[in-house]
Amino acid sequence: MSLSKIQGGIGVSKSVPQAAHWDLVGIVTELRETRERWRLKRNRDLGAHEFPSRDIIRDIVTQLRGALFPLRLGPADLKRDGEDFYVGNVLDAALNALVAQVKLELTSRQRNEDKPIEADVLTWKAGEIVTSFAKALSDLRAVLDTDVEAAYRGDPAARSVDEVLLCYPGVLALINHRLAHELYWLGVPLIARIIAELAHSETGIDIHPGATIGGHFFIDHGTGVVIGETAQIGENVRVYQAVTLGAKRFEATEDGALLKGQARHPIVEDEVVIYAGATILGRVTIGKGSTIGGNVWLTRSVPPGSQITQARSQQEGTEAAK
């Protein structure tokens, strides 16, 4: 829309106080100039919206949740004899929409390459990625079943697996994470990150899609949990609210730019329990069967079977400093 049309369309609303008159044309002009400076600085030449849409991806995730758990996360009027029909239709819609979003991400990424990829090649590549993703859905459902079972077994307040799936924020975050993780390794990290951040917004649980998490994983309560990109978590692990699996430091180049993709988050082996408020930083290993107490600050590896409490962690830190 041109500025003349904007200017011509400006009227004084009766609901707006007389003093509240905006220089709308001037504001639009200033915003355009600011955008152009930003794009020029980054060598951007956008002719249209060329990035995945957060709103569309939200709809896709909702459809995928319904396809994975149709009688619990699907439509309220769905009956068992109509499951396959519903799953087929919702998957067809979700996967076709996902192809379009994947193509947008691939297009935005290759824009700055020396040899841009032709549009039909990008379409083919997007289809291949989504085909591989679709083939993984059955395995994703199977591992999510183990997460639901772990939550039911690990919480005495849980009365059924249905309650766990419908009500527990940790399970909701894991559904998104396992979808996002698959897409992350298939080569569309932006879409994966959007899916992760949708769960973060809904649950307060922040899991980077690059994190590797084994089966039977249980996040109890969940609010404030942070799991970094290169974290590796084994089987039968349980964490509580406000647990952080983060980085201790960030390596940088000579000009100060942070190095990307470095292994900088913890490795948590099988059957570990990490209680509320614990912070574990750096590429350390928490040995199999260990228990990390609440509010512990840990920046070193511990052997299998360790019992780390806040008092013990402080004492060992003092002894190491002597």
Kindly report, residue by residue over 226-285, the tens digit of the pLDDT: 999 999 999 999 999 999 999 998 777 777 777 777 899 999 999 999 999 999 999 999
Residue 128, classed as helix, strand or coil, is helix
Which pLDDT does position 216 carry in this prediction? Answer: 98
93: enclosing H helix or E strand:
helix 83-110
Contacts of 289 (CB under 8 A, 6+ apart): 269, 270, 271, 272, 304, 305
**Is the backbone of residue 262 left (phi > 0), alpha (psi -120 to 50) or beta?**
beta
Topology alike, domains 50-205 and 224-322: no
- Cα separation, 56 vs 102, whole angstroms: 12
Q: What is the pLDDT of residues 286-298, one digit of tens each?
A: 999 999 999 999 9
Query: Which of 117-126, 129-138, 184-193, 214-223 shows the lowest per-residue confidence on average (mean pLDDT)?
Result: 117-126
pLDDT > 90: percent of the chain:
75
CB 228 within 8 A of CB 245: yes
Average pLDDT over residues 76-100: 97
Query: Which of 115-119, 127-131, 145-149 shows the lowest per-residue confidence on average (mean pLDDT)?
Result: 115-119
What is the residue extent of each domain of the chain? 50-205, 224-322
Six-digit token string for 131 = 């085909």
Query: Which of 29-33, 87-91, 94-98, 261-265 shows the lowest per-residue confidence on average (mean pLDDT)?
Result: 261-265
pLDDT bin (cut points 50, 70, 90) of residue 322 is low
Q: What order do you get walking across the sheet with 285-286 strand by strand?
A: 212-213, 232-233, 267-268, 285-286
Check whether 203 has a pLDDT greater than 90.
yes
Indicate the DSSP class of residue 259. Answer: P
Inter-CA distances, 207 with 78, 175, 198, 237, 271, Å: 31, 11, 11, 15, 19
Which pLDDT does position 49 carry in this prediction? Answer: 63
Indicate the DSSP class of residue 252. Answer: B
**Is the backbone of residue 283 left (phi > 0), alpha (psi -120 to 50) or beta?**
beta
The one-letter amino acid at 12? V
Average pLDDT over residues 179-195: 98
Average pLDDT over residues 141-156: 97
Q: What CATH number does domain 224-322 carry, 2.60.40.10, 2.40.50.100, 1.10.760.10, 2.160.10.10?
A: 2.160.10.10
Which pLDDT does position 249 carry in this prediction? Answer: 80
In the numeric block, the tokens 């824009």 are attached to 111
Greatest mean pLDDT among 14-23, 195-204, 261-270 lies in: 195-204
Q: What CATH number does domain 50-205 carry, 1.10.3130.10, 1.10.8.10, 1.20.140.10, 3.30.70.2170?
A: 1.10.3130.10
Which pLDDT does position 225 carry in this prediction? Answer: 98
Check whether 58 has a pLDDT greater than 60.
yes
Query: Which of 49-58, 59-68, 246-255 shows the lowest per-residue confidence on average (mean pLDDT)?
Result: 246-255
Backbone angles phi and psi of 214, in degrees to 5: -75, 180
